[in-house]
Amino acid sequence: MTEKLLPLSMIIPDEVRHAVSINSSAHEIYPYISTSDGWNAWFTSDMSLDFKPGGRIIFQWKSWGADKLSTGDHGLISEIIPDKRFGFTWHPDQPDYATKVTLTLSGESSPCVIRVVESGFANTPEGMRAMIQSASGWGEALVLLKMYIEHGISLVVRDL
């Protein structure tokens, strides 16, 4: 199973890029970006994944943030390199095409730098809006991951 990625001629040539340093090792951080329990601890309400290249990944948020947003998205796992990289596709703009997200961990010991890159947004006004929303969203997400790993703080709503 594959996702429809847009041809290069139809995408915004820029990428969303963020990085944060976390006082933990790549080995300790990796499960938080590659397992359902990991994502659900710090970011999603009910995430599931089939941990293999080409496996399905489903994100769910319930009553998320100040606006109490309930939404979801899905995609496919594109890359698994334990303790180094986890990649997937999803649909932050339109359901008829996917963007590619790669989370990369640098450093064997603490602190570890985690980097996120998202690319493949349509070169349209809607694609640009989605890219801007993803840029702010990934910045927030990495800070949430850092706060959870370093301080045990989670903003995920559990009881609705």
Q: Residue 135 is inside which H or E element, if any?
A: helix 125-151
Positive or negative, the CA dihedral 7, 11, 93, 159 is: positive
In the chain, what are the domains? 8-151 (3.30.530.20)
- pLDDT tens string 46-105: 999 999 999 999 999 888 777 888 888 999 999 999 999 999 999 999 999 999 999 999
Largest Cα–Cα distance of the chain, in whole Å?
A: 45
Query: What mean pLDDT value characterizes the chain?
Result: 92
**Contacts by 68-71 with C-beta closer than 8 Å and gap 24+?**
none
* Average of per-residue pLDDT across 28-48: 95
Cis peptide before 111 (omega within 30 of 0): yes
Q: Is the pLDDT of residue 160 over 50?
A: no
- From CA 1, how far away is CA 65, in angstroms rounded? 33
- From CA 84, how far away is CA 70, in angstroms rounded? 31
- pLDDT tens string 116-134: 999 999 999 999 999 999 9
Among candidates 158, 121, 131, which has minimal Cα distance to 43?
158
- Give the phi and the psi of residue 97 in degrees, each rounded to 5: -150, 160
For residue 55, give every residue at least 6 positions away whose Cβ sits within 8 Å of its Cβ, in sequence order, or none: 49, 76, 77
